[in-house]
C-alpha cells in the first residue's frame, strides 16, 4: 500500500475515539478475511444442476418453505 494512503488513513483517524478505531479494525479484518476465504470458482455437479432445474420449473404451490429447503440441502450435500 502506498505510504501516502496510510498517512491519509492515520490523519482521518488520529482524533477518533477508541470505539471508532475498534470498528474500523473489525471492518478491515472482515474485508481481509472475506478476500482470503471466498471461493467463487466452483462448479455444480450434474445432479445439483438437475435438482435446481426441477425446482425452477416446479409450480409455485409445490415449493417448500426456506427452512425445509435449507435443511434438505444440508442433509443431502453437507453444506
CA distance between the termini of the chain: 36
Same domain? For 28 and 51 the reply is: no
Residue 41 belongs to some domain of the structure: no
Residue 39 belongs to some domain of the structure: no
Q: What are phi and psi of 28, to 5 degrees?
A: -60, -45
Backbone CA torsion sign across 41, 45, 46, 47: negative
The pTM of the full predicted model, rounded to 2 decimals, is 0.42
1-55 pLDDT per residue, tens:
578 999 999 999 999 999 999 999 999 998 888 776 666 667 889 999 999 888 8
Residue 22 belongs to some domain of the structure: yes
Q: Which three cell numbers stand for residue 76?
A: 443431502
Same domain? For 28 and 50 the reply is: no
Residue for grid cell 453444506: 79
What's the Rg (C-alpha) of the chain? Answer: 22
Q: How many domains does the chain have?
A: 2
Residue 16 belongs to some domain of the structure: yes
Task: Give me the domain span that covers residue 11.
Answer: 3-34
Amino acid at each position: 500500500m502506498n505510504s501516502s494512503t496510510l498517512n491519509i488513513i492515520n490523519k482521518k483517524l488520529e482524533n477518533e475515539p477508541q470505539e471508532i478505531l475498534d470498528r474500523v479494525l473489525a471492518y478491515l479484518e472482515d474485508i481481509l478475511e472475506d478476500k482470503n476465504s471466498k471461493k467463487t470458482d466452483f462448479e455444480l455437479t450434474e445432479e445439483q444442476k438437475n435438482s435446481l432445474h426441477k425446482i425452477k420449473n416446479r409450480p409455485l404451490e409445490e415449493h417448500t418453505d426456506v427452512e425445509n429447503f435449507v435443511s434438505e440441502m444440508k442433509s443431502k450435500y453437507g453444506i
